[in-house]
Structure 1
């Protein structure tokens, strides 16, 4: 790779502008005495569909703004490759995701600390959750933030089928929970979303763009990082490609990799950080032997059940003209409308079996349905969907280089449902989701279950349905796991510093020691807030 003679120098170089990277850039650049450069592989977030919540369906599979990664096929995915899109624009996946704001359970973070990561217990990370958000709809001020840049709201979109679903959840013993990010998660209610006044609240919109007016912050788009420069054993900069040219940016203090749970291990491996034997096989010189890089990949594997609907107008019909014109007019007037909704409207958190101390299932419900349960195209008939995934799967996979060519996508193998316990938990979850669709409260609206259909009853039949139609929830994490140096699989320490490589940190979902009992975006933003504080303290 050629190196330009006029290398650009900054105090901090950040790879990635997503859920964590945008926050790190915004927080570090608050200090006018330091300079910050952000490298974003994708374009600016100017496209209208990136701003409109309903635009999710238009952008998540668009290669211009989302990396179109996929898993390797297995028998447990019916021989299918499971799409794993990741954001590739300012804001990263917060610009293309399903907009749900869900922190997780207290025990998740206490578990992180118990694994040898001081400072990561729930009580210690709570201030960072609160710092980021303004929960517009109230909540306990001891637990919720009310003056952060990120606006979090409830939908305020009344729909009779949603209310009937929640009434039916009560029939099954699930309490109504107005704030699952409050004192406890268990129960059912409406999802909190990163939507405000009809617009998506990405980290680009809420953190990065306000900071981009500062003279000490430079954001470079269409900049694809190819390797972290390691010189004299220390991270010194990043080599990247832009518009057919290869460039270098130097870091006086630190390089921060915030490229996401699939691109971060790829970049580390390209930089010679990973399993030395595997790197040598690809002709890559080892800079740090850290065999945990690319290991311990986890994700939430979800499955959706669908029923047809009567006596109500569902999103399936509202999303088609002429009704769609009315919804657009309501959006312009600031009235409730489907353009300002997240794909999942209602949540339910529950135990898959009696005796569990906390929920091990997350469910979603919406008065809408997608063809074959796949988020991409709405069904032509009136439909409703009840989906479910296992909170804390034991199955884990890998992210490995396909070659030493930075242009090649990594080989991603999540090993979905490899663990027998995971399979049994999800089977029980499907049975609960089915029960929720068949409550007395929903009788007025339910016509018939069409996916999987009443002919699917036995555990083996349900499992086959899961194999054929299950999909990722896009919650990949854990591929540069946090842990003490005594943990041979740890990649970063509790300060998010890469073991054995000074001046290099990873700050994104890759560092999660264990998957959260939630959508992972909120926790990733918290990691960004906490990571930025760690950097500032170390420089003081």
Structure 2
């Protein structure tokens, strides 16, 4: 389930004119470009559209957002909640996959990413839940002022229009409560609840309550530990998806200063100057641009701030790059971006007078910087890419939530509990549900998301938590990392590891998640993994996907947490409220030993669609790529 936005990387550039074509809302979104733009945003997903929208609020600023995918056509598979997940692997997915996971079963895994105007918000499970306050406070503690819970909460609230559940009876029955002090009432994204509730969540929460896990009062108030029924990004009136495109672009398409082009793949950012690694070619002196040099103005460097608040929205011109303590003779600046429709098409360039913001997700943002000459020097040399900036953190520190599915179906044994599987196995039932949705916007078709979730702390579900965390603390930092990493990457992981050990010992920090699909699955996923992976280019060809290696469970602590989670599932299923569901089958079996559970894990690991960390917001000496203003270190 995609809930949170990948780290934004900001980049500053300058643009040119180019003619393209395609229509949306009666005007060309791919209309001829202006001679120059103040800001270019690479990637029109969640981050990209939010940033583009905010920057274009001031009419005197011109903003261009460049998206590799196309705009959707308001298909039911996107808009109707019942189809959640059905468009993964379809035309709006990048169709990426990992490298073989030799530490598991040796197979590759899909790594879905939105390739569409609106990005991952078009594909995701629509669950609207924030991380715990502890997570954001930990960000701040790593040298990022303003990124703690208190600093981020106003922006969470700014983004949403929250509509409480429509029935007091349902609210009480499903323990759906909310704190109005942490919710917005006038933001672009509609946040609400479906017009149908499967009763299994009641049993699940009651069972966990008996086992000592209290239900969260409000899963979005920063205390996200324990079971909770989470809201969704769902329009409460028409019960359709409230995604980034429909909230941050469609209502503002008439802004003459807000341009979007789709179907255009950015192949590199254009860099001028020197950065201590030798001269960088001037990208405007030749090649396939449109004959226009950089527009006059401030060709500033990488830079952007949280929610567009600083530095661009402050009215100040940001520095070219964030500075190291000894910047030396570096005078690097970004002058534009290069893009093309496909590998055989003519490369075109466009320039910015102020900034380029790279918001292409954790995987493609790292790839783009590496292709542009910003990244680990040894990697760039391998593909004969001129090194503009040797920045070891780019593409390292990849983190993801590893997920393992389970199967405890109960519908066949107990007909009094309706199951979403009936929508695919019972044509009459599905037709009635479809008619109810079309006519009244109620019924099972509104309840596509797995809303009954639990974020469980390790000490509350396992007697082995102290031992597991002690083992983690005593690890040598290099024991389970990729060999040959730059010392700064190792230093960053060392600091992260100690933070994780300290926090996961608390009863208020989730070690893993349970996802209840109401059909008999209590899927488990590690929330704070110790394993670290990589995302590296495997060619100088920008149209060849990067080598994505999440390295799930390479650190044994993550595997131990999954084992404890699967064992705790047995306790949940044995609790009297869950026994009422009469599970017909147990996968994994209730008598499976640790070796058998290991096999289930090795074969079953998948992504929960949350890759992050490849452009870490950390100090430079800890493998950081950007500072707390999301300016790239130079």
Shorter-chain TM-score bucket reads 0.7 to 0.9
* Correspondence for 1:114 among 141, 155, 168: 141
User: What is aligned with 2:435?
Assistant: 329
User: What is aligned with 1:190?
Assistant: 229
Q: Distance in 1 between matches of 2:223 and 2:618?
A: 27
Aligned pairs (5 A) from 1:171-190:
171-190=210-229
1:121-152 CA distance string (max 9 Å, x none): 11111111111112211732322222111111
User: What is aligned with 2:60?
Assistant: 33
Q: Which runs of 5+ in 2 are unaligned?
A: 1-14, 19-32, 165-176, 274-331, 461-504
User: What is aligned with 2:197?
Assistant: 158
**Distance change >3 Å, CA 346–CA 18, structure 1 → 2:** same
- Normalised by the size of structure 1, how large is the TM-score? 0.85
User: What is aligned with 2:528?
Assistant: 392
Residue 328 of structure 1 deviates from its aligned partner by 1.2
**Distance change >3 Å, CA 153–CA 77, structure 1 → 2:** farther
Aligned pairs (5 A) from 1:57-68:
57-62=85-90, 64-68=91-95
Mapped pair 1:341 → 2:447: yes
* Correspondence for 2:381 among 280, 286, 295: 280
Aligned pairs (5 A) from 1:26-105:
26-48=53-75, 49-62=77-90, 64-105=91-132
Residue 24 of structure 1 deviates from its aligned partner by 0.3
Q: Distance in 1 between matches of 2:617 and 2:266?
A: 23
Q: Distance in 2 between matches of 1:292 and 1:78?
A: 28
Secondary structure of 2:385's partner? coil
Q: Distance in 1 between matches of 2:222 and 2:88?
A: 33
Mapped pair 1:254 → 2:355: yes
Mapped pair 1:497 → 2:631: yes
* Correspondence for 1:441 among 574, 577, 588: 577
Q: Return 6-15 or 414-423, whichever deviates more.
A: 6-15
User: What is aligned with 1:209?
Assistant: 250
Secondary structure of 2:249's partner? helix
- Normalised by the size of structure 2, how large is the TM-score? 0.73
Q: Distance in 2 between matches of 1:22 and 1:418?
A: 35
Mapped pair 1:319 → 2:424: yes
> Is the CA contact 2:198–2:418 (under 8 Å) kept in the aligned structure 1?
no
Q: Distance in 1 between matches of 2:359 and 2:448?
A: 25
Residue 427 of structure 1 deviates from its aligned partner by 0.6
Higher-Rg structure is 2
Q: Which runs of 5+ in 1 are unaligned?
A: 369-383, 501-540
* Correspondence for 1:146 among 163, 169, 185: 185
Q: Return 140-149 or 392-401, whichever deviates more.
A: 140-149
Q: Distance in 1 between matches of 2:39 and 2:404?
A: 41
Secondary structure of 1:305's partner? coil
| Aligned residue pairs, count | 480
> Is the CA contact 1:155–1:191 (under 8 Å) kept in the aligned structure 2?
no
1:2-32 CA distance string (max 9 Å, x none): x988684111000111121110011111010
1:425-459 CA distance string (max 9 Å, x none): 11101112232233211223223333122342x22
Secondary structure of 2:51's partner? helix
> Is the CA contact 1:307–1:446 (under 8 Å) kept in the aligned structure 2?
no
1:277-315 CA distance string (max 9 Å, x none): 210110100111111000000000011221121223311
Q: Distance in 1 between matches of 2:179 and 2:580?
A: 36
> Is the CA contact 2:403–2:523 (under 8 Å) kept in the aligned structure 1?
yes
Residue 335 of structure 1 deviates from its aligned partner by 4.2
* Correspondence for 2:506 among 336, 352, 356: 356
> Is the CA contact 1:168–1:439 (under 8 Å) kept in the aligned structure 2?
yes
Q: Distance in 2 between matches of 1:397 and 1:214?
A: 41
User: What is aligned with 1:504?
Assistant: none
